[in-house]
Structure 1
Amino acid sequence: MPAPEKGQAFYMMNNPRRKFIKMGAMLGVGSAFMPLQFCSPAKKEENVALETPEETKSKLESFGIQLYSVKDEMAADAKATMTALAGFGYSQFEGFDGGKGVLWGMKPAEFKTLTTDLGVQMVASHANVFENLDTQAEEAKEAGLEYLICPWIGAQKTIDEYKMMAEKFNQVGETLKSHGLKFAYHNHDYTFEMLEGVLPQDVLMDNTDPALVDFEMDIYWVYVAGVNPAEYLAKYPERFKLCHLKDAEADQGNGEERGVLFGSGEIPFGEIVKDSKSLGMDYFIVEQERFVNSTPMEAAEKNAAYLQNIFMY
């Protein structure tokens, strides 16, 4: 939790008229030296394609929201908040434990009925996977969740500690698998900062069993740590199954968080989403934790509208 478009250049390089213009220029110069018998009236071109079809692009068919983005609203009235979010266009939810459990005090059957009625899939929840895991797993399974996700481990002091954490992840994954659920780890920036000459995230990736442990890439935290998200996804294909979509304003050098509304930051979402779709990414979850001249619910609505109406990859 806590690149310009090249359309104009592409058009000029691929527009059939470019060839005709170039040829015309050549003929215009050369025709003065051509014998008259080789000169004939120009034939009228019929049905010449003067336009090149635009590059085919796609939109996200579905996307979700991490409910932590509207944590205060969830605490006040979880059902009303979830209903409003579904109305904004979110078809998936990812939860967190806000003090009432990952189901906000609702019984699993009641929670599943709510999401079903809203037409929303409760994909996952961030949870403390190191305590009462079996009980949490039973409830999550009954409520219709697919994943329980570890959202935070804190910066470990040594690489050996990260290796031990990787083994804990394997154990958690084994337990959740026995309940018919999946396990994933959500990164922050600290696993993308070098330690002992090694990237801790690499240690977690290399020392966990792909059959037991998936990963959720928080694109924002990877980006602000100075690592290229698309390149890292390509380094470990099929390991990242979920991601947090977040945008970041330009670094002001003051160490503050840089989260902003989609479309007003500098993270190249189009490239990242396109690449990730071919590398095993299944779920795209919106998250925003910093709000400038906007409330959390207003931001949630605007971000959904951006993904529905403007964003293409």
Structure 2
Amino acid sequence: MIRLTLLVGLWLAGASATQAQPFGKLVKKMPGMVSYTLRESFSKDVPGTLDKVKAWGITDIEFSGLFGKTAPELRALLDQRGLTCSSYGVSYDAIANKPDSILQNAKALGVKYIRIGSIPHKSAATLEMMQQAAEVFNRFGKQAHEQGVMFCYHNHGFEFQPYENGTLFDYLVKQTNPEYVGYEMDVTWTYLPGQDPAALLMKYPKRFRLIHLKDVQKGVARNDKGSMANEECVVLGTGQIDWPSVLKAVNKSSIEHLYIEDESKAAEQQVPKSLAYLKSL
């Protein structure tokens, strides 16, 4: 009995040590992935795509949709593979008009975060647009908080219009309750509009909870469109982003989940290379 207890203790210690091993010096653990990265594959074969993600060593996924599954069905497929969905991406309209169904899905998926990808707009950001969004975010954020979920807004580039001594993004952050509303930085949609992602993380270290790791091809001009050609999304470390600076800021922030988002049609070839780059830092 003593010997068995000792063996079990040694095994548990070894398992704990294995789990505690860092992914890299700057990126402490294996990052997750946004489902949009493999959107075409997910739309055709959810189980097979999950197997592909797991084969890369990724176990954490932010789903931007359910790909024809119900939330319980998707949760079952994840559980079968030891995968988790930590963040659930929905639309602005959904949080404004269908909060109950969104929160029901979130509970079924077991997520800690619900996020939206942008504020609907057909023009440059306006103060009125941000005022309305702040009201929606605070209202839904409170509802989500009561269910044990944090709401996050994912910036999409257009929010960085100048306003007073900063930008309309600054205004949005200040007008939202930090207890109910967090933020998800998209590094590329922060960088291309002329912002410094690392500096913004340091400015709001406790507001950002999630981050999209996405790089942009060298030579692509600065803009606030929040879109680029597929081929302009490149392997991390080969584009314009200063990743060491960004990741050092991440480590001083409240960010809990890092997700690789690769919009390229060559994402299946690029994601393993991006992982290797992050581990090498």
Query: Which TM class, normalised by the smaller chain length?
Result: 0.7 to 0.9
CA distance in 2: counterparts of 1:59 and 1:203, whole angstroms: 30
User: Structure 2 length normalisation: TM-score?
Assistant: 0.81
CA distance in 2: counterparts of 1:197 and 1:270, whole angstroms: 28
Q: Which runs of 5+ in 1 are unaligned?
A: 1-55, 98-102
1:114 aligns with 2:82: no
Alignment of 1:29-40 (within 5 A): none
Secondary structure at 1:130's aligned position in 2?
Answer: helix
> What residue in structure 2 maps to residue 268 of structure 1?
242
Out of 150, 156, 175, the position equivalent to 1:182 is 150
CA distance in 2: counterparts of 1:82 and 1:105, whole angstroms: 14
Q: What is the CA deviation profile of residues 149-191 of structure 1, one whole-angstrom value per residue up to 9, with x for unaligned ones? A: 1111144652132122111100110121222211000001111
> What residue in structure 2 maps to residue 296 of structure 1?
267
Work out the number of aligned pairs and report it. 247
Alignment of 1:1-313 (within 5 A): 57-97=25-65, 103-128=66-91, 129-155=95-121, 157-195=125-163, 198-253=166-221, 256-257=228-229, 258-291=232-265, 295-308=266-279, 310=280, 312=281
Contact 1:242–1:282 (8 Å) recurs in 2 = yes
1:91 deviates by: 1.9
Secondary structure at 1:210's aligned position in 2?
Answer: coil
Contact 1:89–1:304 (8 Å) recurs in 2 = no
CA distance in 1: counterparts of 2:69 and 2:114, whole angstroms: 17
CA distance in 2: counterparts of 1:254 and 1:174, whole angstroms: 36
- Identity across aligned pairs (percent)? 27
1:110 deviates by: 3.2
Q: What is the CA deviation profile of residues 240-278 of structure 1, one whole-angstrom value per residue up to 9, with x for unaligned ones? A: 000000112223449754421112112111111111211
Structure of higher CA gyration radius: 1
- Greater mean alpha carbon deviation, residues 82-91 or residues 108-117: 108-117
Q: Which runs of 5+ in 2 are unaligned?
A: 1-23
User: Structure 1 length normalisation: TM-score?
Assistant: 0.73
Secondary structure at 2:62's aligned position in 1?
Answer: strand
Aligned partner letter, 1:120: L
CA distance in 2: counterparts of 1:207 and 1:254, whole angstroms: 27
Aligned partner letter, 2:152: A
Contact 1:85–1:300 (8 Å) recurs in 2 = no
* Structure-2 change in CA distance of 1:89 and 1:306 (3 Å): farther
CA distance in 2: counterparts of 1:306 and 1:265, whole angstroms: 12
CA distance in 2: counterparts of 1:274 and 1:145, whole angstroms: 26
Contact 2:192–2:222 (8 Å) recurs in 1 = no
> What residue in structure 2 maps to residue 27 of structure 1?
none
CA distance in 2: counterparts of 1:135 and 1:247, whole angstroms: 34
Secondary structure at 1:123's aligned position in 2?
Answer: strand
> What residue in structure 1 maps to residue 7 of structure 2?
none
CA distance in 2: counterparts of 1:210 and 1:172, whole angstroms: 13
Secondary structure at 2:97's aligned position in 1?
Answer: coil
* Structure-2 change in CA distance of 1:263 and 1:142 (3 Å): same
Aligned partner letter, 2:72: A
Aligned partner letter, 2:269: E
Aligned partner letter, 2:156: H
